[in-house]
Amino acid sequence: MIEIKKGVIREELFARPGIKGFKVLVGDKEAKCIAYPDLVGEVRIGDEVLLNTTAVTLNLGTGGYHYIMANLSRPEKSLSPGGHIMKLRYTPMQLKVLSVEEEASPYHEKLKYGDSLDNTPVLVATLHSMLAPLCLQLAREGFKIAYVMTDGAALPIYFSHTVSYLKEKRLLSGTVTVGHAFGGDLEAVNIYSGLLAAKEVFRPDVIVVSMGPGIVGTGTRWGFTGIEQGDILNAVEVLQGLPVCVPRISFTDPRSRHKGISHHTLTVISRVCRARALLPLPVMDEDKMSYVFEQLRYAGSWERYQVCLEDGHDILEILEQAEINITTMGRGVKEEKEFFLALGASAAAVIKILKGQPLNRVQLV
């Protein structure tokens, strides 16, 4: 279940708050590794470390990095003060956080009585690659954005270069990590309290929810972590927010199950989500629009959602001018135009709502 090897730190590759990357000598081969100082303490050149090498050996999508489990040269680390909620519970890496809900939290009273999102729009996405485009378009209009990261993929928010960039550019008012995800500005026990914390503490105009990098899929209808989208949409409605389902759309992905509206999104809207969510669709070429409309008709989802057709083309210019290279599954805007148009349409719909403008609602004839 796990492969463990020793290594010696040779060179620092990068450092961001909460995360560092190194070159490490493993046997007679050089490799890359990541350290989370909150978990393993400080790591320095020449230190002998214990590495989890499982993902690289299996050639999985971790960017080719091993992960430091322990620093054998500095084996002790003291506990920081405050908090008593455990994440990664009952594993060797379990860590203590100050949860936003617990009595020692300065926000305990807010969360004790907070019970409504007050119709705040909540964009619920599946892929982490959706986060930056949504935020860039919303922030350009001057809206405050909070990000809630679930535990559907990467658990440390530090792993996300995207979040680091958005915070550096002050495009996020704050972050919340929920469940076993950790490292956000606020920690929360679950998605309900995480959403309420984002609303009560950061007072955003809009909340974006997605997992971190690294969605898990199996090529089956139910075996993917993005299925959480449906449960989150339901939670938003329960908390009196405005649930917005961000669709995953592609006409480039070689896998037929992702053509048009991905089977991930179709499963969510046809079988999981029970909220009357807003489902924005982008303006596309006629043949592609017809294909997507037929998918919705076949899935029996048209009547259950507030479907709107919005122009998402602004996102193309925004991404072209962005300082960060944004891709999805390794493909950029030119290769995945419709994917990004769907994000542009989702952001455009929320912008209209926040400005009090009417949506271009669609009825299937």
pLDDT at 365: 60
Cβ atoms < 10 Å from Cβ of 144:
16
Co-location of 131 and 188 in the same domain: yes
Q: How far does Cα 249 stand from its chain's mean position?
A: 17
List Cα–Cα distances, 13 to 24, 50, 164, 182, in angstroms: 10, 18, 16, 23
pLDDT at 255: 86
Q: What is the mean pLDDT of each run of 10 residues along the chain (365 residues)?
A: 96 97 97 97 97 93 88 93 94 96 95 95 97 98 98 97 96 98 98 98 98 91 93 98 97 86 93 96 96 89 87 95 88 91 98 98 78
Q: Is residue 77 part of a domain?
A: no
Q: Is residue 227 part of a domain?
A: yes
Torsion sign, CA atoms 330, 336, 341, 342 = negative
What three-state secondary structure class fits 178? strand
Residue type, 13: L
Q: Which residues contact 152 (CB under 8 A, 6 or more apart)?
A: 211, 212, 215, 216, 225, 226, 228
The C-alpha atoms of residue 192 and residue 178 are separated, in whole angstroms, by: 9
Count of domains observed in the chain: 2
pLDDT at 211: 98
The C-alpha atoms of residue 62 and residue 170 are separated, in whole angstroms, by: 27
CATH number at residue 32: 2.40.50.220
Co-location of 351 and 283 in the same domain: yes
Co-location of 43 and 112 in the same domain: no
Co-location of 154 and 273 in the same domain: yes
Residue-wise DSSP of 221-279: SS-BGGGHHHHHHHHHHHTT-EEEE---EESS-SSGGGSEE-HHHHHIIIII--S--EE
pLDDT at 62: 67
pLDDT at 363: 79
Q: Is residue 100 part of a domain?
A: no
Mutual angle of helices 228-238 and 191-202, in 10-degree steps: 50
Q: Is residue 38 part of a domain?
A: yes
Residue-number span of the structural domain to which 221 is assigned = 108-355
CATH number at residue 279: 3.40.50
pLDDT at 80: 87
The C-alpha atoms of residue 210 and residue 212 are separated, in whole angstroms, by: 7
Q: How far does Cα 206 stand from its chain's mean position?
A: 15
Show the tokens assigned to 259.
């053509």
Q: Is residue 334 part of a domain?
A: yes
